[in-house]
Structure 1
């Protein structure tokens, strides 16, 4: 009798059960206690396997795969602090709706809280952040295979968004040749092994209903705020708002084409705010707004009703407006709420947007992060996708740039952390196989520098731009104390990423001017591999440009 064989059979039921719920990719970190899960995943032909030595990066790799692939992604890690390193990715998935399946190996209960090596309290480690948690017992034939598979099905079948945490304790031995131990236990599931359906099929469909008063509402003055959504939704939302004659204020992640570009600048003008305040209804499609001026107006606006349409649950409105919280697929909801053609009523905002765009065009000359943000639409790969990091760069692109309608844009703007950005971008690329442009700041890159290793596995041209402004320059936009700003907020590291790229044998360049950057990008899009482009820029110029333009536009 071999416990290692039974551990494997137990694990094989877990892996096959999650596969039946759409898991195609499994991300694996090295570890001994997770051996039954790892080997069971490896022998299952339905999985594509990915590996990484850094569990925090591994979790974000899975997050990126789930963002772009739309299917749940499984993660296998060993016991101990390896589990804790999944926390940031788990939190982000809970806020942005990607589905992760965290399979965490554990010591058996008798080894917890008694001084055993690598044994920590893993039950409840993620508190309220998982959408579902399942704490399995140690493998034993006294528990039927039917209980195990139906428990997995119950957790997976009701997973609408976020992560499910399945904690899997295994007793030693973990290694050894397979024998017949547990074979009859495993075969008790009968022809389940030969079909492709879950043992227990469970679903909680979300129905979309038409608002009864929509024919009256659509005749009012309205404003559309477009937050984070997919490419299909973004194109449809822009067309819908245009037909209604309502202004659409598009976030950098909206994929609407931002028909009124530079909104984060022109919303600083009192004339724009005065006109928008005439709206009787505001409809927000998608969540996760970036622009500071948009968030300020969104907080203070007082229409008769404020509607938020988003597929994820939760209020999603920090300002707590009176109105309607509609949980629905955005495209389906727009189809049900047909737009009646109307004349645009937002003349002041349209004019201010045009004048602001001209101002930005005239000022954003030369070479720097503001110029990169302004020209971002020209640097995107054809038939590709874009991943944008956090802190200053995403705000500059939101304020100064304009992305094409329907062009796929990804980010980690749920918790808006700087951890795991390179690894998330790597996952996005591996999920689609498309050419990918990713942009992060220097501190973000340092935070996830281990994950440059993942870029070696790129399956198409991948460009990782690192904007090196020597520290967290976003803090120069905030009222941080001047005397302590450098030491305690910006924390400049004087880093050079040539050695980091070289350590992982990645193509590297550091262009000195715009022409060099454009030449390097043109070459990089010809190579089915990753290129790291370090953009060494003036430390404060990007933040100063944004501040200067805000001042000018507010006086137009």
Structure 2
């Protein structure tokens, strides 16, 4: 094979991705992927990012795609490099984020016979990709160049349609691997865009909407629940529906609806705190729930609806999934959320119980007042509360799993509409969190990342990306020396095994680790000094470490929840 055979084949594939809208590619170094890597690098209009760690690279690409809601390409060499993509692909699948995974491979004659760096890469990610294709060995013919463009266009379309997700194309490559980038007409050697895809949107017919609304007749205790919402249009329509129906909206922190609570009174950001105590969950009856987005972060909410078994439970999902883990009777509405919201807005509103409305509005005010006063000492919760209060317009806050996302769900009470909260809640893992947040920063926004010390250790090498490309990020490490969330779980009672198996104290030297990479570092000891550090502009890379003690952190949280419970207004409902 001469270099031109491979070069034109690959250049047409890459240019077709660009013609469809691809803007970013994330490349990890390797030999077998040379034709893809060098040709991508040569394209004048695709931004390339290079990182040595494939696992981190994949999460970094996930962050870019998550923020832009457009596919990002990944390129790696053959062998175990491809396996390192797996965790991010699982997250992308469950969180519905578009990735185009391009895995280089040995040609067929070098497979399954002991050749180095050759593993089975066919459908490597199984059901976690929406589409797989084994590319043909490159040839420089018009038919094969059209084939390359067709596959590129199909991969982009499948990844980015309304049911977004990852796709994999496996590229067998023969020597010579170095492309001839001096060839004429590199990007236009075949007419572009051989296959165009036009995707429709799901919308219920009017009679189906009427069937849904009929279920709500005579039911006075209802709520709208919002998990992660991906578009501003959806958020605006939820607000419009809430005002028309005069219905409480239990707003998960990732819905990014809380930032409107100062203007829209029906937004309830403190529902998780209100539902913390079992006595409330057991006695607060609910008739109907209409949910948009995936299941919220809040475990008390999940326990509440499982206990109460509402008469009508409606889950709206445009992607025909089944994101409903409670096993209660549910009507799954397969419709684009914005379209369904418009239909509900045009309908007659339910007749809600005025005591029900008053319960949520009054108790949200009570809970907010108590939460906002939780600043007597620097704790994990008061640090998150300070971030909530001090974040400025245009910031993105990315949150790690375990305790940080739960504290964010409790304490994020910011009313600035231009502050956006993000997290990896597809598979809810702690790996790749730093990489994803830095990927978000690569889209051109300053990012504050809040995470625990174990999550920090999992993805420390990702900090090299921020340093290499000088991306603006502030990392807040809530360091309780181990897995703080387990102190709230039954495992905490198993004293013989708890510290070794769950607490896992590693004493990470955060200061030395980040200063070795040139990051600025500070470890405030009071709420005031924390706020002072946080208020500084995010114009480089810095780390704020908040050191806490796990048992004290648990007691602090439980005392706060009890104080909210004791002050709730129960009149007429409990």
After TM superposition, the score normalised by the length of structure 1 is: 0.91
User: What corresponds to 1:212 in structure 2?
Assistant: 210
| Match of residue 264, structure 1, among 260, 267, 272 | 272
User: What corresponds to 1:27 in structure 2?
Assistant: 26
Deviation at 1:544, TM superposition (A): 2.4
- Is the 8 Å Cα contact of residues 368 and 541 (structure 1) preserved in structure 2? no
Deviation at 1:323, TM superposition (A): 3.6
Paired residues for 1:364-443 under 5 Å: 364-404=375-415, 406=417, 407-431=419-443, 433-443=444-454
User: What corresponds to 1:316 in structure 2?
Assistant: 323
The alignment status of 1:515 with 2:514, answered yes or no, reads no
How many aligned positions are there?
543
Deviation at 1:224, TM superposition (A): 0.7
The alignment status of 1:77 with 2:84, answered yes or no, reads no
- Is the 8 Å Cα contact of residues 392 and 416 (structure 2) preserved in structure 1? no
Moved more, 538-547 or 282-291: 538-547
Deviation at 1:382, TM superposition (A): 2.3
Partner Cα distance (2:375, 2:320) in 1: 40
Partner Cα distance (2:470, 2:231) in 1: 22
Deviation at 1:423, TM superposition (A): 0.8
User: What corresponds to 2:293 in structure 1?
Assistant: 286
User: What corresponds to 2:94 in structure 1?
Assistant: 95
Partner Cα distance (1:494, 1:249) in 2: 38
Partner Cα distance (1:382, 1:187) in 2: 43
Q: Could you say what secondary structure the match of 1:337 adopts?
A: helix
Partner Cα distance (1:440, 1:185) in 2: 45
Q: Deviations over 1:502-523 (max 9, x none)?
A: 2221222222222221122222
Paired residues for 1:386-535 under 5 Å: 386-404=397-415, 406=417, 407-431=419-443, 433-456=444-467, 461-480=472-491, 481-523=494-536, 525=537, 528-535=539-546
User: What corresponds to 1:162 in structure 2?
Assistant: 165
- Is the 8 Å Cα contact of residues 42 and 49 (structure 1) preserved in structure 2? yes
- Is the 8 Å Cα contact of residues 419 and 448 (structure 1) preserved in structure 2? yes
Q: Indicate how the Cα distance of structure 1 residues 328 and 24 shifts in structure 2: closer, same or farther if over 3 A, else same.
A: farther
Q: Deviations over 1:400-441 (max 9, x none)?
A: 33233643211101101111111101111111x122211111
After TM superposition, the score normalised by the length of structure 2 is: 0.88
- Is the 8 Å Cα contact of residues 375 and 527 (structure 2) preserved in structure 1? no
User: What corresponds to 1:537 in structure 2?
Assistant: 548
Q: Indicate how the Cα distance of structure 1 residues 9 and 178 shifts in structure 2: closer, same or farther if over 3 A, else same.
A: same
User: What corresponds to 1:86 in structure 2?
Assistant: 85
Moved more, 334-343 or 122-131: 334-343
Partner Cα distance (1:373, 1:69) in 2: 26
Deviation at 1:167, TM superposition (A): 0.6
User: What corresponds to 1:303 in structure 2?
Assistant: 310
RMSD over aligned Cα, in angstroms?
Answer: 2.6
Q: Deviations over 1:103-132 (max 9, x none)?
A: 111111111111111111111211111011
Q: Could you say what secondary structure the match of 2:169 adopts?
A: strand
Deviation at 1:469, TM superposition (A): 0.9
- Is the 8 Å Cα contact of residues 456 and 477 (structure 2) preserved in structure 1? yes
User: What corresponds to 2:571 in structure 1?
Assistant: none
User: What corresponds to 1:240 in structure 2?
Assistant: 241
Moved more, 270-279 or 125-134: 270-279
Partner Cα distance (1:51, 1:112) in 2: 28
The alignment status of 1:149 with 2:149, answered yes or no, reads yes
